Amino acid sequence: MFNIIALENGLENVQGFYCGATNVGMRPDQTQGDVAFIRSDVPCDISAVFTSNTFQAAPIKHFQKYPKDFQTDFVLINAKNANAMTGEKGVEDIETILSVLASKQKVLNPLMSSTGVIGYRLPIEKVTSAFDTLDFHSKNSEETARAIMTTDSFKKELSYKVELEDGTSFTIAAICKGAGMINPAMATMLCFITTDADIPKADMDALLTDATEHSFNRISVDGDTSTNDTVMLLANKSSGHYNKEAFAEVLNKLMFELAMMILRDGEGANKLVAFEVKGATTLEEAKTASMALSNSLLVKTALFGEDPNWGRIASTIGASGIACDEKRLTIHYDDLLIYSDTFRELDKAREAKAYAIMKKESFKVTCDIGLGKASYISYGCDLSYEYVKINAEYRT
Amino acid sequence: MFNIIALENGLENVQGFYCGATNVGMRPDQTQGDVAFIRSDVPCDISAVFTSNTFQAAPIKHFQKYPKDFQTDFVLINAKNANAMTGEKGVEDIETILSVLASKQKVLNPLMSSTGVIGYRLPIEKVTSAFDTLDFHSKNSEETARAIMTTDSFKKELSYKVELEDGTSFTIAAICKGAGMINPAMATMLCFITTDADIPKADMDALLTDATEHSFNRISVDGDTSTNDTVMLLANKSSGHYNKEAFAEVLNKLMFELAMMILRDGEGANKLVAFEVKGATTLEEAKTASMALSNSLLVKTALFGEDPNWGRIASTIGASGIACDEKRLTIHYDDLLIYSDTFRELDKAREAKAYAIMKKESFKVTCDIGLGKASYISYGCDLSYEYVKINAEYRT
């Protein structure tokens, strides 16, 4: 038995962690930071999950140069420049920046993480100028969360306290960014999770992988997978307390909620839709069909148009290549049966109900393939004019 | 040696074929037909390629009920209703309609083909009322081409005469529709090709499959694959003449040009871009990466924004899962080198050239993976506000 209590704000709730941000001139809006840090006063164990994109950005390559199971106490984060497709120079730039950091602040195996435009070298002097203005003893989670935003329209931070049965407790918190280029197999997103739980390293790796699979890997804004996606879990063990079941639950809850925040902030998106495919022959097939629905342009534009056009849902299932049979298939919008073999055309009353569901900010589409027992759920959003505008004008 | 000569107009140029259309009230605009026919005065051999969507529409199921290598002399086509996801009733409706036809006009193994909204039964009385107004001896290709349009903004018809070395000749012509839901593995498109060439049935099947692979299967507007896609080749042999090499060349030319017409008419699209991936390890990988580029929302919106953001090209290649290495990769826009390991950042002069290329109506992106010898080319278009508008409002 344990209680999970939501806390106000974010990273500042976790013992021994510090964070803050500054603007070094990479982001034109001076009121928002572009370089941020997260620091622990004792070394942390670290688990990380990175993008499946073959062209991993320089910060990910730099991370991988450390020995297995290394500890760290510092993560430097910048916006506006992804430091991706920058080759060996990109990794060297990180080493240069972090050596300047080390000359000003005692750090253990410092890390870097970046988001922004692909294909440009980091402006080293600008980035290192941050070390003159950052206060390494600040605890300003909001400022940090805002500094890592790109096309995000709101900051994303969450924090929970877990009270265990024996009266002890630990905390966990996270900041996260992401709004576009979001696809299963990770979004263009960065997520930094800090905890003072006394969690063993082996549990960190297993629980982070599992929670990623159930959260960030199930959302899609546009079917693209970035070069920089990163989820990091930093554990400094400062509370001295831990319970695996409780930690798994709070980590899943935290990461799922962050994933839904990203989806709600999907570029130009107005609706959050869960696509459940059940009754599939295999889990792989359920996943394939569910992801096909989340990613279909025709489904996404029908959502934007609030058109209960189930034909596009059915066609997408059929085009996904999974085993299916139109006589076995059923489609529901929330609890409303909208297609089955014996019920193909909508009467007026049902069509009115379907239109009402389509107008909701959030609803569920359930496709029962009717052939097996495997199911999978993914989460998508609509595609609006605004998405096109944001992505056509991204660099300008 | 042979000459290929472009002819004015379309199907009317082919000996022994008749075509026309009428409006039976399914399409609100009475000046455009919604039911059309193509007829030959002698039985035709027929080859057809259908959608890869598992949920094949009723007309495709009906086609497949005929014995192998059947001959036909009549194809009935309707717009506004796809007769898809309509179950056995959908096939029965076709049989009903065609039996009414047979009571009014002598036909051999008549076929039907449909395009429009998924999930509604055909209005049998409306469709059969066409038989009272259609003139089965008309040769009005333009009217026929216009009757099968859905979101198309222009009619698509082409016709060629092939003059052989011995002074004999044959003709080939086609009408085609398609503008959205266009994806490799066939578009939401219907294409009817007629020829009076004396082509053996075995050549028809082989050449049609090959030409489809090099035309309609290489274009993508939105990554969706419809339930109704159909390419039909009808050969009535009336000219008595044939040359395999010449026929293959003209068929490929005709189908490629039609595919490019569909892409230029891609819903809301303003640009036609060829994505060549070469130097891949296998053909399958070259195809995967090329298709990923044609289908990427981020690439498509960058094209619309005329932004030479090669980072999105590179990221899409990396996300496609093929074997690749950023040190080996090069990217060209037309002949302009825009990325290589030793040439990562654009100088002003090159950026200006890149912007100029992006403003063109048509250009080529070439990604050389640098690892092997396989190459593949596919064709895509930009994604505009107009695409979202068309597809959000499709049914209303």
- pLDDT tens, position by position, B132-174: 999 999 999 999 999 999 878 899 999 999 999 999 999 999 9
pLDDT at residue B346 greater than cutoff 60: yes
**pLDDT at position B393:** 62
Among the partner residues B85, B344, B391, nearest to A344 by beta-carbon distance = B85
Confidence of residue B392 (pLDDT cuts 50, 70, 90): low
- Give the strand pairing for B71-78 and A2-6: unpaired
- The continuous run of DSSP H or E covering B114 comes out as strand B111-114
Q: How far is CA B376 from the centre of its chain?
A: 18
Q: Please state the rounded mean pLDDT for residues B309-336.
A: 92
pLDDT at residue B183 greater than cutoff 60: no
**pLDDT at position A187:** 42
> What are the pLDDT digits (tens) for B198-212?
999 999 999 999 999
- The structure tokens listed for A160 are 């929970």
A194 shares its domain with A156: yes
B193 shares its domain with B302: no
- The answer to whether A345 and B120 have CB atoms below 8 angstroms apart is yes
Q: Check if A217 contacts B (Cβ < 8 Å).
A: no
Residues B335-367 as b/e (b if ≥16 CB within 10 A, e otherwise) read eeebbbeeebebeeebeebbeebbeeeebbbbb
Which regions of chain A are under pLDDT 50? Answer: 182-187, 395-396
**pLDDT at position A269:** 73
B288 shares its domain with B381: yes
A205 shares its domain with A253: yes
pTM over 0.90: no
- The structure tokens listed for B352 are 């200006």
Among the partner residues B225, B301, B394, nearest to A391 by beta-carbon distance = B301
**pLDDT at position B185:** 38
Encode B215-238 in three state secondary structure.
CHHHEECCCCCCCCCEEEEEECCC
Percentage with pLDDT > 70 across chain A: 93
- Average pLDDT over chain B, rounded to an integer: 90
CB contact under 8 A, B318 and A82: no
- The continuous run of DSSP H or E covering B208 comes out as helix B201-213
What does the alpha-carbon distance between residue A72 and residue A75 come to, in Å, rounded to a whole number? 8
Which bin fits A60, alpha (ψ -120 to 50), beta or left (φ > 0)? alpha
Q: How far is CA A116 from the centre of its chain?
A: 15
A15 shares its domain with A98: yes
Look at residues A264, A283, A300 and tell me which one is the last residue of a structural domain: A264
Dump strand ranges (E) for A258-348: 272-280, 330-333, 336-339
CB contact under 8 A, B119 and A389: no
> What are the pLDDT digits (tens) for A249-308?
999 999 999 998 988 887 677 888 999 999 999 999 999 999 999 988 878 888 888 888
Residues 79-108 of B with CB under 8 A from A: 82, 84-87, 89
What does the alpha-carbon distance between residue A196 and residue A44 come to, in Å, rounded to a whole number? 9
A42 shares its domain with A152: yes
- Average pLDDT over chain A, rounded to an integer: 90
Look at residues B208, B239, B264 and tell me which one is the last residue of a structural domain: B264
- The answer to whether B229 and B53 have CB atoms below 8 angstroms apart is yes
pLDDT at residue B303 greater than cutoff 80: yes
A259 shares its domain with A279: no
> Residue B341: which domain range?
272-392
> What are the pLDDT digits (tens) for A326-362?
999 999 999 999 999 887 667 888 889 999 999 999 9
Q: Check if A224 contacts B (Cβ < 8 Å).
A: yes
Nearest Cα residue in chain B from A396: B307
Look at residues A264, A282, A316 and tell me which one is the last residue of a structural domain: A264
What does the alpha-carbon distance between residue B285 and residue B278 come to, in Å, rounded to a whole number? 10
Percentage with pLDDT > 70 across chain B: 93
- Give the strand pairing for B111-114 and B71-78: parallel
A119 shares its domain with A179: yes
A259 shares its domain with A291: no
Q: Check if A268 contacts B (Cβ < 8 Å).
A: no
Q: How many CA atoms lie within 13 A of A377 on its CB side?
A: 11
pLDDT at residue B186 greater than cutoff 50: no
**pLDDT at position A186:** 39
> What are the pLDDT digits (tens) for B7-53?
998 999 999 999 999 999 999 999 999 999 999 999 999 999 998 88
Stronger pLDDT, B274 or B266, i.e. the higher one: B274
CB contact under 8 A, A322 and B54: yes
- The answer to whether B8 and B133 have CB atoms below 8 angstroms apart is no
Q: Check if A310 contacts B (Cβ < 8 Å).
A: yes
Torsion sign (Cα): A144, A145, A150, A151? negative
Q: Considering its fold, how many domains does chain A have in total? A: 2
**ipTM over the 0.90 cut-off:** no
Q: How many CB atoms lie within 10 A of CB B96?
A: 15
- The structure tokens listed for A135 are 């206060």
Q: How many CA atoms lie within 13 A of B386 on its CB side?
A: 14
Residues B39-63 as b/e (b if ≥16 CB within 10 A, e otherwise) read bbeebbbbbbbbbbbbbbbbbbbbb
**Contacts with A84 from chain B: Cβ below 8 Å:** 311, 315
B141 shares its domain with B240: yes
A78 shares its domain with A148: yes
- The answer to whether B246 and B72 have CB atoms below 8 angstroms apart is no
Q: What is the CATH number of the domain that holds B170?
A: 3.60.70.12
Q: Which residues contact B202 (CB under 8 A, 6 or more apart)?
A: none
A349 shares its domain with A260: no
Q: What is the CATH number of the domain that holds B304?
A: 3.10.20.340
